[in-house]
Amino acid sequence: MAAIKDNNSLDFLPNYVTLKNGNRLDKAEYVDMAIRTEAYIKSNGRLPAIVYLKSTLPDYSDSTMKLFIKTFDFKGTSIDEALSVISKKKLYSKYFNSQKTDKQTINDAKSGKGSNCVDWGQVYYRIAKSLGYSVQFIHVRCRVSGTGHIRLRLKHSKHTNGNWINRDPAAVADITNGNVKSLWCDDGNIIAYDPSWIFTDLYSS
């Protein structure tokens, strides 16, 4: 639990852990379990009796996913289909850190207002999780501007053949040509995978 709460970066954690039964969990999976455990303790004042590994099957019960579906009449099953929703509307706005809940980000997009890389990243992290992806945040420092940037690293047994891919919701939100593979700071220096600060309000919507 301290690793999630007290450290600036989670990149010191192993990329995977092996369970007693031989099954292997990626970092994104066991970090997700730790986040949910921490949320349970905060709400109930005690440890949970059991923590389930989230299914890799689509799960549309997440509040962000439900709002995204309702707002944009989304019927897709992949992250690229979800990104295509914002790929032609110029919905990026530059500001620092997370300043919105997912609900505000989605509602602002509906009215034509943009959001930054952190807020879009948090929205699409939860969408990707709902679609059955393993997901990591990547915090990079752009070479030209020297500023930080957030994008996502994802994999899915069907949609990515089990391989990690990079997707950049903010870069996609800033274009109008529909290129869901658009990336910013592709040659930037990686500061951290899953920086702990981005999880503090991830589920606050």
Q: Is residue 54 part of a domain?
A: no
> Tokens 């439900």 map to which residue?
66
Q: What is the DSSP string of 95-161?
A: -SS--S-HHHHHHHHHTT--B-HHHHHHHHHHHHHHTT-EEEEEEEE-TTT--EEEEEEEE-TTTST
The amino acid occupying position 150 is I
Nearest to 180 by CA among 105, 49, 79: 79
**Same structural domain, 112 and 36:** no
Domain residues for the domain of 195 are 63-199
Tell me the one-letter amino acid at 134.
S
Task: Give the number of other Cβ atoms within 10 Å of residue 97's Cβ.
Answer: 11
CATH number of the domain within which 146 lies: 3.10.620
Q: Are residues 78 and 116 in the same domain?
A: yes
Q: Is 68 found in the same domain as 25?
A: no
Instruction: Please tell me whether residues 71 and 130 are part of one structural domain.
Output: yes
Flag whether 182 is in a domain. Answer: yes
Q: What is the pLDDT of residues 31-40, one digit of tens each?
A: 778 877 887 8
DSSP-based three-state secondary structure for 27: helix
How far is it, in rounded angstroms, from Cα 44 to Cα 168? 35
Together in a domain, 160 and 195: yes
User: Residues of the chain whose pLDDT is less than 50?
Assistant: 1-3
Kindly state whether residue 156 falls inside one of the protein's structural domains.
yes
Number of domains in the chain: 2
Answer whether 83's CB lies under 8 Å from 171's CB.
no
For residues 160 and 88, state if they share a domain.
yes
Q: Model confidence over 125-154: pLDDT tens digits?
A: 999 999 999 999 999 999 988 999 999 999
Residue 11 shares a structural domain with residue 89: no
Assess whether 71 and 160 both reside in one domain.
yes
Residues 37 and 78 reside in one and the same domain: no
**186 domain residue, yes or no:** yes
Same domain, 67 and 28: no
Say how far residue 153 (Cα) sits from the centre of its chain. Answer: 8
Say if residue 83 is in the same domain as residue 39.
Answer: no
- Can you give the three-state secondary structure of 156-169, one letter per residue? CCCCCCCCCEEECH
Whether residue 174 is contained in a domain is answered as yes
